[in-house]
């Protein structure tokens, strides 16, 4: 299963982004609108909620020993070990060993041993120990005093590094260190009072600065299962840190869990003596900054961003314009005079368009097909695999006998090994060794010659030529995760090994710390996008400016007055001109008023940019005109992406069969749909009323009112939301890219086949809101939808469907 790698980065201190992904436990993002309930869109602020693992307190604003602090000085911070049983007495130790200049201290080996009730016992020398290595020895026992603890073997161990006692016959801990000599023994002997239970550990370390004594500190731990190992000042930025705990428990059988292991510590020892004494040792290389600071950088309003990296199988497709997603036939011609070829949106396997092949009755041939050009690449002697998706209508299915590929260097070759069904998409392919360089590829449908003139023979989509003998998942350069090696639709398409998708960019609102039994901790981080900053920007008035400027220019003027970054904007040219402004008050409120006057859209996109789309964006932007994805319950054979749930609504909530629109300083303009008022609202108008709009003329206000009633005057069966779960077996490679790459304003198509039969419900809709809920091995993406039946359904010249009378709002 290919799973996105979610990346969360926070700018604790400008301009550096810090990756905090490894501590993310759950994530929720929502942008756009949660529900479309009016003909006029008003996008909400985008939000994210991030749940972080906080067991080492790194995201606790009160922790000045965490990594995100100002005035930082080196130190290690406290770490907690948890025992399976409450210990009566014990110690927690932290030791730092300095690395040699230009090197990083590293563990050679660690050994341990437990005693019986004896006066002495041995612990083996760590395997691999060599002259010059640093040796650290630890001894914990339950009887006697620290003065009774001795260590012999090899070169002198000298003075103890540290010794700590919690009282005679309770618990004693001693630590030694030395530089290994040339003839160290096989075992070291530890002495203790007779009858004591003890545990010994010997650690061998390479690449150390032996001229520097290791740093250490210790704490007593009493009647607890949670043992603290203290913070100490480090000797260098890449010390080797040793954390160990020792405790006594009358019944024995204790083992240790060490939460810090999750943060890079490796547990080397978890040892129980004959009965009472037990020891755990965890070690970590301190390769990053550790210590404490004078103030926390875990603050509100820190910039934060979320991305997802999705892996793809690298693929090069040598077919030009392989899926005709631009709605043109660039690079394609009919295979022969009896084939009529056009692009169409009525049926496609990927995206919104395909090539439709119909019979031309000018001659009696029975082969119909399309001929596409290929970018130079495959040459004589190389093996290629050619493939295509084909759809044959049920009306002619029994008259189609086979499918073949022809091209330069490829003799006519029939595909085999496929399963074809009527009214379904299926993939056919061949593998051939080229006899000459490949420059074109033909896809042919063979028939029995009885198909009527003008009938549709089939549809062709997603044509692919790749090197090698194995067909890979299709890539056409327009799908998420594909990038072009040249100009789109005029060169080969290349699917990269991975693609990065932005999901959210905004600012932290809070860092909410929760503790469980003083050990387990999480931090919830609510975040809001840039709308948060704009709504908090209250401006003083200036002399009136900007009369007659279009709404795009007005949006720019307001953003400038609010000091919004000039690089973080995507501003369209507006279709309406505005009255003058004094640029005062809440910046977001004025931006929303301009968008409402335009009947446009403003929102913060996934990259944190302020976006303004004018009213004609749905008529001009390719992603809003052409279907970007087709979802349905028919599965792959029907060319439909699988969804988890779809909400269908036929309520009256969106009906507005009367509009009263008054521009500032103008005369009220009233438009009513009397048929709707009579038929659907019991002769009581449902009124949409605005008297604050800033267009310049009453004529524009009249058009505005007409548009509102046209859009919302009649009830409509509509799809309200769509939910996909990309981790569903077998669908990850097609659904994860849809979850990650779809944008606000994209046009998609949904087909729902009702239980019990009957015609399927098919609607084209715009995505107006996006929500992701991400947990370990769970991913759910929801789209809030707006019907495209009327919105944007105006005449679009030269468009394959919206450019046809009868397919748009100009229908007689």
| Beta-sheet strand order (sheet of 332-334) | 332-334, 367-373, 440-447, 400-407, 410-414
More confidently predicted of 230 and 111: 111
804 confidence band (pLDDT: 50, 70, 90): very low
Per-residue tokens: 37: 């309930």
| % of the chain exceeding 90 in pLDDT | 59
At residue 172 the predicted structure's pLDDT band, cuts being 50, 70 and 90, is very high
Distance, CA of 797 to CA of 810 (rounded, Å): 12
For residue 361, pLDDT over 90 is answered with no
Residue 263 is given by DSSP the state G
Token pair belonging to 112 = 């341990």
Asked whether residue 735 carries a pLDDT value surpassing 80, the answer given is yes
Using pLDDT thresholds of 50, 70 and 90, give the confidence band for residue 489: very low
Q: Is the pLDDT of residue 799 over 80?
A: no
What's the rounded Cα separation, in Å, for the pair 713 and 655? 6
Q: Which residues are within 8 A (CB) of 223 and not within 5 positions of it... i.e. 6 or more apart?
A: 86, 87, 88, 89
pLDDT in tens, 182-205: 999 999 999 999 889 999 999 999
Query: How many C-beta atoms lie closer than 10 Å to residue 586's C-beta?
Result: 15
Residue 107, SS3 per DSSP: strand
3-state secondary structure 159-181: CCCEEEECCCCCCEEEEEEEECC
Give the strands of the sheet with 134-141, arranged side by side.
106-114, 198-206, 134-141, 172-179, 162-165
Using alpha carbons, select from 441, 415, 440 the residue that is nearest to residue 428. Answer: 415
3-state secondary structure of 606: coil
- Across 223-227, 637-641, 712-716, least confident range: 637-641
Q: What pLDDT band is residue 701 in, cutting at 50, 70 and 90?
A: very high
Longest Cα–Cα distance of the chain, Å, equals 110
Assess whether pLDDT exceeds 50 at residue 809.
Answer: no
Which residues, at least 6 apart from 736, have a Cβ–Cβ distance to it below 8 Å? Answer: 2, 3, 4, 310, 726, 779
In the predicted model, is pLDDT for residue 237 greater than 90? no
Please state, in angstroms and as integers, the Cα–Cα distance from residue 447 to each residue in 408, 418, 637, 733, following that order: 23, 17, 21, 34
Of 376, 441, 381, residue with least CA distance to 415 = 441
Burial of 38 (0-12, 13-18, 19+ CB in 10 A): middle
pLDDT higher than threshold 60 for residue 1 = no
pLDDT tier at 730 (50, 70, 90 boundaries)? low
* Rg of the Cα atoms in the chain: 36
pLDDT at 298: 95
Q: Reply yes or no on whether the pLDDT at 807 is more than 70.
A: no
Residues 44-68: what's their mean pLDDT?
90
The residues near 116 (Cβ < 8 Å, ≥ 6 apart) are 197, 274
pLDDT in tens, 122-131: 999 999 999 9
pLDDT the model gives residue 480: 56
| Cα-to-chain-centroid distance, residue 630 | 22
- Among 408, 351, 349, residue whose Cα is nearest residue 374: 408
**What is the pLDDT confidence band of residue 476, given thresholds at 50, 70 and 90?**
low
* Span 257-275, pLDDT tens digits: 755 444 678 889 998 888 8
Q: What is the mean pLDDT of residues 721-728?
A: 91
How far apart CA 246 and CA 231 sit, in angstroms, is 17
- DSSP run (H or E) holding 662: strand 658-663
Distance in angstroms (rounded) separating the CA atoms of residues 368 and 364: 11
Tell me the mean pLDDT in the region 782-809. 58
The residues near 147 (Cβ < 8 Å, ≥ 6 apart) are none
Partners of 659 in the β-ladder: 671, 688
- Measured at the alpha carbon of residue 537, what is the angle toward residues 531 and 541, in degrees to the nearest 5? 135
Q: What pLDDT score does 658 carry?
A: 94
Q: Is the pLDDT of residue 653 over 80?
A: no
- pLDDT higher than 50, residue 485: no
Task: Provide the pLDDT for residue 796.
Answer: 37
Residue 794's pLDDT band (cuts 50, 70, 90): very low
Answer whether 415's CB lies under 8 Å from 428's CB.
yes
- Residues 344-383 as b/e (b if ≥16 CB within 10 A, e otherwise) read bbebbbbbbbbbbbbbbeeeeebbbbbbbbbbebbeeeee
pLDDT value for 493: 67
**Of 72, 134, 65, whose CA–CA distance to 98 is shortest?**
134
C-alpha distances out from residue 550 to 209, 579, 792, Å: 70, 9, 21
Q: What pLDDT, on the 0 to 100 scale, is given for residue 635?
A: 77
Q: CB–CB of 508/328 below 8 Å?
A: no
* pLDDT one-digit tens code per residue, 286-310: 765 556 678 999 999 999 999 999 8
Backbone phi, then psi, for 80, in 5-degree steps?
Answer: -120, 130
Phi/psi of residue 719, nearest 5 degrees: -90, 125
* β pairing state of 610-613 and 569-571: parallel
Give me the pLDDT at residue 483, please: 54
**Residue 614 pLDDT exceeds 70:** yes
Q: Which residues of 225-264 are buried (b: 16+ CB within 10 A; e: fewer)?
A: bbbbbbbbebbbebbbbbbbbbbbbeeeebebebbbbeeb
Mean pLDDT of 104-124: 93
Q: What is the dihedral of CA 557, 561, 563, 565, to 10 degrees?
A: 0
pLDDT at 21: 94
Q: What is the pLDDT of residues 416-456, one digit of tens each?
A: 999 999 999 999 999 999 999 999 999 999 999 899 999 99
Local structure of residue 638 (DSSP, 8 states):
G
Mean residue pLDDT of the chain comes to 88
Instruction: Identify the pLDDT of residue 630.
Output: 86
Which position has the token pair 């709707």?
676
Contact between 735 and 642 (Cβ < 8 Å): yes
- Given this model, what pLDDT does residue 721 score? 95
Give me the pLDDT at residue 542, please: 96
pLDDT value, residue 477:
59
The rounded Cα 297 to chain-centroid distance in angstroms is 25
Between 16 and 651, name the one with better pLDDT: 16
In 3-state terms, what secondary structure has residue 786?
strand
pLDDT value at 65 more than 80 = no
CA triple 783-787-790, angle to 5 deg? 155
Q: What is the DSSP letter of 599?
A: T
Helix, strand or coil, per DSSP, at residue 21: helix
Query: CB-based burial of residue 811 (10 Å sphere; 0-12 exposed, 13-18 middle, 19+ buried)?
Result: exposed
E-assigned strand segments in 425-519? 425-433, 440-447, 456-467, 482-484, 493-495, 498-508, 512-516
Examine the pLDDT at 17 and tell me if it is beyond 60.
yes
Predicted pLDDT at 315: 78
Per-residue pLDDT reduced to its tens digit, 140-163 = 998 889 999 999 999 999 889 999
């Amino acid at each position: 299963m290919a799973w996105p790698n979610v990346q969360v980065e926070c700018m604790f201190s400008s301009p550096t982004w810090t990756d905090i992904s490894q501590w993310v436990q759950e994530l929720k993002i929502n942008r756009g609108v949660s529900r479309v309930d009016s003909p006029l869109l008003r996008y909400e602020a985008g939000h994210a909620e991030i749940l972080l693992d906080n067991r080492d307190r790194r995201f606790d604003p009160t922790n000045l020993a965490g990594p995100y602090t100002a005035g930082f000085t080196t130190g290690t911070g406290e770490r907690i070990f948890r025992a399976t049983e409450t210990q009566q007495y014990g110690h927690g130790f932290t030791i730092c060993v300095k690395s040699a200049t230009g090197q990083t201290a590293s563990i050679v080996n660690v050994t341990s041993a437990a005693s019986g009730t004896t006066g002495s016992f041995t612990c083996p020398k760590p395997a691999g120990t060599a002259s010059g290595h640093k040796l650290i020895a630890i001894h914990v026992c339950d009887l006697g005093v620290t003065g009774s603890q001795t260590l012999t073997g090899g070169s002198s161990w000298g003075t103890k590094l540290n010794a700590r006692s919690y009282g005679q016959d309770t618990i004693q801990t001693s630590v030694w260190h030395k530089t290994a000599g040339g003839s160290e023994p096989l075992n070291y002997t530890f002495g203790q009072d007779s009858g004591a239970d003890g545990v010994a550990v010997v650690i061998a370390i390479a690449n150390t600065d032996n001229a520097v004594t290791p740093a250490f500190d210790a704490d007593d731990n009493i009647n607890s299962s949670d043992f603290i190992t203290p913070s100490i000042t480090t000797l260098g930025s890449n010390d080797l840190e040793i954390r160990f705990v020792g405790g006594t428990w009358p019944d024995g059988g204790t083992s240790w869990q060490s939460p810090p292991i999750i943060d890079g510590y490796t547990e080397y020892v978890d040892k129980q003596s004959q009965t009472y004494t037990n020891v755990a040792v965890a070690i970590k290389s301190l390769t990053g900054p550790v210590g404490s600071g004078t103030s926390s950088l875990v603050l509100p309003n820190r910039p934060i961003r979320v991305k997802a990296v999705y892996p793809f199988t690298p693929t090069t497709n040598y077919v030009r314009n392989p899926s005709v997603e631009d709605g043109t036939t660039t690079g394609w011609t009919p295979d022969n005079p009896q084939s009529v070829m056009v692009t169409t949106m009525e049926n496609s396997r990927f995206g919104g368009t395909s090539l439709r092949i119909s019979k031309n009755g000018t001659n009696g041939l029975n082969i119909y097909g399309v001929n596409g050009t290929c970018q130079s690449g495959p040459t004589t002697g190389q093996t290629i695999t050619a493939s295509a998706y084909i759809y044959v209508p049920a009306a002619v299915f029994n008259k189609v006998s086979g499918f073949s590929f022809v091209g330069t260097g490829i003799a006519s070759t029939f595909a085999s090994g496929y399963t074809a069904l009527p009214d379904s998409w299926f993939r056919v392919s061949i593998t051939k060794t080229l006899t000459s360089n490949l420059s074109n590829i033909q896809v042919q449908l063979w028939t029995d010659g009885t198909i009527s003139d003008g009938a549709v023979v089939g549809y062709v989509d997603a044509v692919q030529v790749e090197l090698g003998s194995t067909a890979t998942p299709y890539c056409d350069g327009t799908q998420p995760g594909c990038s072009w090696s040249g100009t789109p639709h005029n060169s080969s398409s290349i699917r990269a090994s991975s693609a990065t998708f932005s999901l959210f960019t905004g600012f932290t609102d809070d860092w909410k710390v929760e503790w469980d039994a003083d050990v387990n901790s999480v931090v919830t981080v609510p975040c809001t996008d840039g709308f948060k900053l704009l709504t908090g920007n209250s401006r003083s008035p200036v002399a009136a400016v900007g009369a007659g400027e279009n709404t795009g220019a007005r949006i720019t003027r307001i953003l400038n007055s609010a000091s919004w970054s000039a690089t973080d904007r995507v501003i369209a040219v507006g279709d309406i001109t505005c009255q003058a402004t004094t640029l005062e008050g809440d910046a977001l409120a004025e931006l929303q008023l301009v968008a409402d006057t335009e009947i446009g859209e403003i929102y913060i996109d996934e990259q944190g940019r302020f976006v303004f789309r004018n009213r004609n964006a749905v008529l001009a932007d390719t992603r809003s005109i052409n279907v970007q994805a087709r979802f349905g319950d028919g599965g792959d054979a029907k060319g439909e992406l699988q969804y988890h749930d779809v909400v269908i609504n036929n309520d009256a909530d969106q009906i507005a069969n009367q509009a009263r629109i008054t521009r500032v300083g103008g005369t009220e303009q009233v438009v009513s749909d009397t048929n709707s008022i009579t038929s659907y609202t019991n002769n009581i108008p449902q009124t949409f009323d605005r008297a604050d709009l800033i267009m310049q003329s009453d004529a524009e206000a009249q058009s505005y009112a007409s548009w509102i009633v046209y859009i919302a005057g009649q009830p409509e069966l509509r799809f309200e939301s769509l939910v996909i779960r990309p981790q569903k077996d077998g669908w990850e490679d097609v659904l994860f890219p849809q979850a990650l790459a779809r944008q606000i304003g994209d046009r998609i198509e949904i087909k729902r086949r009702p239980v019990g039969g009957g015609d399927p419900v098919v609607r084209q809709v715009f995505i107006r809101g996006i929500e992701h809920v991400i947990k370990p091995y769970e991913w759910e993406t929801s789209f809030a939808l707006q019907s495209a039946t009327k919105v944007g359904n105006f005449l679009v010249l030269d468009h394959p469907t919206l450019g046809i009378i009868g397919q748009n709002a100009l229908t007689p």
